[in-house]
Structures are given as structure tokens and as C-alpha cells.
Amino acid sequence: FSKEIDQLKVEDVSTLDGEKINLHVNIGGDIEIEQLKEFKCDGIGLLRTEFIYMENDKFPSEDEQIKMYEKVYSALPENKPLIIRTLDIGGDKKLGYYDMPHEENPFLGFRAIRFCLENLDIFKTQLRAILRAGYNKNIKIMYPMISKVEEVVRANTILEEVKKELEIEKLNYKKDIEVGIMIEIPSAAIMAERYVEYVDFFSIGTNDLTQYVLAADRLNKLVSNIYDPYDIAILNLINHVSEIGKKYNKKVSVCGEMAGEPIAIILLIALGIKDLSMLPSFIPRAKKIIKSIDLKEIKKYKEKILKAKNSQEIKKLITKLLIGVV
Ligand code: PEP
Ligand code: MG
């Protein structure tokens, strides 16, 4: 069995009917950067840059960030994409060297892009670092916690300002960098169509999307029975975003924790998702599942999933398909 895992780590896989499902990894620290070299994948779907800020004793400089982004990129197979998510601080993530305002509901508060748009020096330093590290590389940028179109427009305006500055300074940078947003707040999922003209891709963050759709704190054990990424409301929303992506030819990936779970892999593929991003250690099992499924067969389950009574019914349905696979 362990020999099979070793083989799967480095294998390139497709479905029985020859379709490619892209398997990306989520990186949130040094351990995963190390693991990257071991597990062959199709890129980094989510670089959680918070760890660079949290491990430091002050806001990391432009050069420190460039070094880190280059280090992460060099651990990837050649020319595979690296999606760098801009700082998602706040919520449960604090910095030792910065006093965040006290908030009654930090998860509904001053977090991620909201913080960055009010702290332009910090935001611009990161954008400069990403643009410069991206020169001649397959690096993309992604904004977290988007709840309104105006936030994307404003972030993109700042990105253009930063490009102009780099131009004046005659520094090399990635001029045609692709920009994406996390879909992790219900308003963005519902109104996904309004965002297509401002972005190149979407990435669905089911960890936060689940907590905001169901109003159940992702860290609170008292409501962990309500916090359920397989809830029919979540799956119908994912399907909605997936259909918008298809209609406008924008890539839609899923980078929440569920993307690495066997049942979710089948489910998400049935809903038209072809890009999954997960912890590196989940990659072999995901490959095993992909190798064993027929995409056309799986897609037949879409309506059943969307019309199911509840998540138990969906899980039962999908578990049957997984018998003998994992
Ligand atoms: C998510 O919310 O699903 C996500 C991937 O982001 P994070 O877990 O870092 O909040
Ligand atoms: Mg999130």
C-alpha cells in the first residue's frame, strides 16, 4: 500500500474517460513548502501569506517577501502556477507586533482585504513584492474576503498604481499578472456574475463560506453540527458559481478544506469543478479517486445532489460511488 502511495505522489493522473482534474496544493507554512517537493501537483492554488507575517517580528519588507515567494515558487515543478493570496489577517489571526482594534465579532469585522484597503502602505508593499517576484514566472494574485464589487475595483486600482510606480523605478515586474478573488462570503457567491469583468478566476473558500452561509463559527465546537460544508445551501451556491465560471470562461477552483475529502472530490467534480486545492498530504488519495472515476458518469449525479433533502442523503449517495476506491 505504501508503495502505491509513493507511486501516486509522483504520478500524473486523469479520469477513466481521459479528463484532467487539476490538483493544486494549499501552502500555509514551512512544512508544506518542504512537502511540495515530494508530491507532484498542478500548482499552488492557495499560498496563505499570513504565516510570513505571523512568523516575523514586524511587517515583512518587500525584499523579505520576494525571497519567500521565490522560494515557494522554486519548490514547484517548472512553470506550474502559484496563486499568492494577499494578507488575510484579523478574524482569529493576530500579529504580535500590531494592535488590532478590539471587536465583538472579529470574523465579521476588520479582516483581510478590509484591513488591507485601510492600510495601503502594508497592502502596497505586498503587491510590489508579488509583482516583482512574478516577473517571468507563472504567479497570480488573489484577494481574500471579498464582499462587494467595489472592493475588487479598488484593489485593482491600487494594483495599477503600484505597477506605475515600478515602471517609473524601472524595476522588472509581471505586467500581465492574473487577478482572482476568493468566493467565501455569501454576497460574492450570489452575485458572482457581477465580478466576472474584474477578475480572471474565482477560488471558492468553503471554510469561510460555510461559516457565513450557516452563521456557525468555524472554530466553535458548540455549533460544529451546524457547520457543515456538505449542507445543500453550500452545494447549491458552489454550483451557482461553477455555472457562472462556465458561462464566462473563468476558472473556478475550490480551496477550502473539503476539497481534499473523498466525498467532496466526487461531489465537486459532479458540480463541474475541475480545479481542487488541498494540503499536499491529501494529494495521493485524491489522485487515486480521480483515476477510478468516469467524469461523464459522475456528472449524472449533479441534479440528485442539488435536489437532495439534506447532507446525509448526499453523503450516502456519494459513499456508494466510493466503495472499493478508498
Ligand atoms: C477558506 O475560507 O475556505 C479558505 C481557504 O481560507 P482560510 O481557511 O485561510 O480562511
Ligand atoms: Mg477564508
What is the predicted pLDDT for the residue at 325?
82
| Of 129, 159, 185, 255, catalytic | 255
What span, in angstroms and rounded, lies between the C-alpha atoms of 292 and 282? 16
How much distance in Å is there from the Cα of 207 to the middle of ligand 2? Answer: 6
DSSP-assigned beta bridge partners for residue 203: 182, 253
What is the predicted pLDDT for the residue at 156?
98
What is the predicted pLDDT for the residue at 242?
98
Residue nearest to atom 10 of ligand 1 (CA): 208
Residue nearest to atom 3 of ligand 1 (CA): 205
Q: Which residues are annotated as a binding site?
A: 48, 85, 184, 207-208, 218
What is the predicted pLDDT for the residue at 6?
87
- Return the best residue to mutate from 113, 208, 210, 218 for the ligand 1 pocket (most ligand atoms within 8 A of CB): 208
What is the predicted pLDDT for the residue at 157?
98
Mean pLDDT split into 10-residue runs, the chain, 326 residues: 84 93 96 91 97 96 98 94 97 91 94 98 98 98 98 98 98 98 98 98 98 96 97 98 98 98 97 97 95 94 96 94 83
Instruction: Specify the 3-state DSSP secondary structure of 215.
Output: coil
Q: Is 255 a catalytic residue?
A: yes
Residue nearest to atom 8 of ligand 1 (CA): 207
How much distance in Å is there from the Cα of 164 to the middle of ligand 1? Answer: 31
How much distance in Å is there from the Cα of 179 to the middle of ligand 2? Answer: 17
Q: Where are the alpha helices (DSSP H) in the chain?
A: 2-10, 30-36, 50-54, 62-74, 113-118, 120-133, 149-168, 186-190, 192-195, 206-213, 232-248, 262-270, 283-292, 295-299, 302-307, 311-322
Q: Are strands 201-204 and 139-143 parallel, antiparallel or unpaired?
A: unpaired
- Return the best residue to mutate from 87, 113, 182, 253 for the ligand 1 pocket (most ligand atoms within 8 A of CB): 182
With the C-alpha atoms ordered 236, 241, 246, 247, is the resulting torsion angle positive or negative? Answer: positive
Instruction: Specify the 3-state DSSP secondary structure of 23.
Output: strand
